[in-house]
Amino acid sequence: MIVVKDLVRQFKSGDRTIKPVNGVSFELEKGSLASIVGKSGSGKSTLLSLLGALDKPTSGDVVVDGVSLAGLPDGKLTEYRRRDIGFVFQQFNLIPNLSAVDNVMLPMEFAGVRKAARLQRAKELLEQVQLDPEKHSRRTNRLSGGEQQRVAIARALANEPKLILADEPTGNLDEQTGEHIIELLSSLSRDHNTTILVVTHDRSLAQKTERCFRLQQGRLTEEVRTGSRR
Amino acid sequence: MSVLARSVGNAFRNKIRTAAVVAVLAVAIGLALAMLVANQAVGAKVQELNASVGTTLTVNPAGGQGFEGGGEPLTTAEAETAASVANVTAVVGTKALRLQTSTGSTTGTTQQVGPGGGFGPGGQQATVSTNLTAAVDAGTLGNRNNASGSTGTTTQPARTLPITATGIGAEVDSTGKALDITSGTGLGDYSASEAKALVGTSLAEKNNLTVGSTFTIQDKTFTVAGIFDAGTTFGNNAVYVTLPEAQTLAETPDELSTMIVTVNSMENVDSTKNAVQDALGTTKADVTQGQRNLETAVSSLDSVKNISLIAFIAALATAGIIILLIMVMLVRERRREIGVLKAIGARNRTIGLQFVLESLVLVALGSVVGAVIASLASGGIASALIGSNTTTTAATTTQRGGGLAGAMPNGAVPGGGVPGGGFPGAGGQGGPFGGASQLLTSVTASVSPGVLAAGIAAVFAVAIIGALVPALLTARIRPIEVLRGE
């Protein structure tokens, strides 16, 4: 279970103080699939960074399975990212001179998974995200945007994290592949009890999540839904 | 893909840049290694100088040196007195003889003949007959010397030069330098009277002698035990026998022509010289040292050693700065990559290790090329350093070495031009002095595995620090700061 308590993140920009996240509080049950929508610059990515321990909040706290991130040292935060978090970046953030399979193997290498095991799992994950097997060994800087997106999703799934944070995961994908990725995330949530939080502009994707939050001027509100989306 | 494989791959991401970096590193590392090799070579030469000639004293009879002067001969009792002085590690006595080729009318008796007597001045040296022929022709100098003391109008018969024979108490020449025996063996027990001899290469060649051949001195048959190379034409026209044998041949069983006193360290030479002089008495012995002049030579070598050490450190620091700047540049270029690695769970030490390995790959390549450069350049650099720093010293010492021979009056030396210190027993100063410039310029630099390993280890250590510092500094910041910054 993830509990977000009055989370604030502010920056100084000259004389001004900007608060992209301003007193955000919410709870997510384990295995839930949720989305955050909002305009560009509304603080969606910043909120995701705070939840993924890529950044530290100015105030407030994120509690994951009873553990407060605010009190953790850098080493523990790294361990948290390695073990519990799967991040899908909007810009993919793959290592350009490594192959697709090597990129997917990286988080497993950091987690100490044996080479043969991580190679097998990396290939399975790339197949799950429907990347052509011929492109598994290709450097990611020679893949298309959609292919890189799929590699990024596969990498996020590598260590079977508790929480997947995805920033526009279908933004670069065609409709059919996008549908497949949404189905993949839904099945992870449903079958593996993985909590998934997706930031998106795609209303159709947001409609398919159990809960949908709207972030506006740093404040989060939940849209009221009717019926189950599972 | 392992960290190592990833680092090797990263090192070759940009091949042109990698080639440029390796080239720059190779020059810096090559220079550092060359300086280290030069430093080691000069250090070894300093040790050699100290060990060979820098700590010896020469004792001559008071008022006499070789053919000159007078006074009373040294005795074995005085050698024992010198040996008992503090800081003296060894005393080697010598007894000099002159061997004159037998003309068939040899009396068979030892002659102590003076100037004008046909053999030149007697001094401390006994003249005895031999069946050997000198390897050096009289030539203009020998015949001019022979003419001295005559009326100047009498035509002198062509003459044969004498051969130097020295009785030695250890396997050293008359200046205390170890003999270079090129074939055969030494004389074994130098304190025993034995009919064995060491013969110089040119004398052996002139008389068709090899190891095992025989010849006679004063009608006594000697067997050639070994053939030595003194390095000079004059030095190779000589015979060495054991000290007791020479004393017996000269019929002066207790006498020494000179003593070579070895002191335990260069720092103690001055004080020990005075102590030996006091022990033997100023009326009995003259104690001389070559150390003071060699101190200048050693000091010059030491300065070269210091220069090469400073240059090594400077080149090493340059290599370190190059690595540091390159790694700072690489890390800055790949801040986003570091941020991504952190975001997906890489520890700081994993990131640091990756960049360290990457820099080590570059340094390893630079070291290989640098080692080749060093092996080609170190000899030349060492020679250049020695040449530019020892010209003055070498000139001074060479002049002093030649000065002893030049100081001898015409006709005093029975034979053609004596180089350096003249005959053995002439003070023993010519050898060390005359050889100083040769010793200085004979510094040879070679890349020993130990020196190479030490130099490369130092470069690698610098590379590790150079890579680790910027990588860890970047890895310590929050991932989002790097990712957002891009």
Closest CA in chain B for residue A156: B344
The DSSP annotation for B205-265 comes to: HHTT--TT-EEEETTEEEEEEEEE--SSTTTTSEEEEEHHHHHHHTT-TTEESEEEEEES-
Of the candidates B418, B416, B420, the one whose C-alpha atom is nearest the C-alpha of residue B437 is: B420
Region of B104 on the Ramachandran plot (φ > 0 left; ψ -120 to 50 alpha; else beta): left
Q: What is the per-residue pLDDT for A59? A: 93
164-223 in chain A: CB under 8 A from chain B: none
Write down the mean pLDDT value for chain A. 88
| Residues sharing a CB contact under 8 Å with residue B374, sequence separation 6 or more, in sequence order | B29, B30, B31, B33, B34, B37, B447, B452, B455
Tell me which DSSP letter residue B157 carries: P
What is the rounded distance in angstroms from the CA atom of residue B425 to the CA atom of residue B280?
A: 18
C-alpha distance from B337 to closest chain A C-alpha (Å): 7
Question: Which residues in chain A are closer than 8 Å to B345, comparing Cβ atoms?
Answer: 78-79, 81-83, 85, 107, 110-111, 159
Burial state string for B300-331 with b = 16 or more CB within 10 A and e = fewer than 16? bbeebbebbbebbeebbebbbebbbebbbebb
Q: What is the pLDDT along chain B (486 residues), one digit of tens a residue?
A: 678 888 888 888 788 888 988 898 888 888 888 888 777 777 777 776 666 556 788 898 887 766 566 778 888 889 999 999 998 988 988 988 888 887 654 444 444 433 333 333 334 556 788 888 888 877 777 666 665 544 444 555 556 778 888 999 888 887 777 888 999 988 888 888 888 999 999 999 999 999 999 999 988 999 999 999 988 888 898 999 999 999 898 888 888 888 988 888 777 888 899 999 999 988 888 888 765 556 666 666 777 777 778 888 888 788 878 877 888 888 888 888 888 999 999 998 888 888 888 888 888 888 888 888 888 877 777 777 666 554 433 333 333 333 223 333 333 333 333 333 333 333 333 333 344 444 444 555 555 677 667 777 877 887 788 778 887 887 777 888 878 754
pLDDT in tens, A8-47: 999 888 888 888 899 999 999 998 999 999 888 888 889 9
Q: Which of A13, A18, A74, A88 should one mutate to test binding to chain B, selecting the residue with the greatest count of B CBs within 10 A? A: A74
What's the Cα-to-Cα distance from B44 to each of A158, B34, B431, rounded to whole Å? 61, 15, 20
Compare A116 and B426 and report the one with higher pLDDT. A116
Q: Are B244 and B193 in contact (CB under 8 A)?
A: yes
How far B464 CA sits from the closest chain A CA (Å)?
22
Per the CB < 8 A criterion, the answer to whether B347 and A75 are in contact is yes
> Does the distance separating the beta carbons of B479 and A93 come in below 8 Å?
no
Q: What is the ipTM of this complex?
A: 0.91
**Cβ within 8 Å, pair A82-B344:** yes
- Separation between Cα atoms, residue B327 and residue A152, nearest integer Å: 28
Digit-coded pLDDT (tens) for A148-162: 988 999 999 999 999
Residues of A (26-85) whose Cβ lies below 8 Å from B: 49, 52, 54-56, 74-75, 78-79, 81-83, 85
Residue B115 DSSP label? T
Residue predicted with more confidence, A52 or B322? A52
User: A54 contacts in B (CB within 8 Å)?
Assistant: 343, 478-480, 483
Question: Exposure of B74 by Cβ count < 10 A (0-12 exposed, 13-18 middle, 19+ buried)?
Answer: buried
Contact B163, B209 (CB under 8 A): no
Our measurement of the distance from residue B183's CA atom to the centroid of its chain's CA atoms, rounded to an integer in Å, reads: 22
**Could you tell me the pLDDT band of residue A226, with boundaries at 50, 70 and 90?**
low
Number of residues written out for chain B? 486
Task: Classify residue B356 as exposed, middle or buried by CB count within 10 Å of its CB (0-12, 13-18, 19+).
Answer: buried
Q: Alpha-carbon distance A44 to A3, whole Å? A: 17
Contacts of B342 in chain A (CB under 8 A): 78, 81
Q: Who has greater pLDDT, A52 or B12? A: A52
Provide the pLDDT for residue A81. 93
Environment class of B80 (CB within 10 Å of its CB; exposed 0-12, middle 13-18, buried 19+): exposed
pLDDT at A65: 87
CA distance A110 to chain B (A): 6
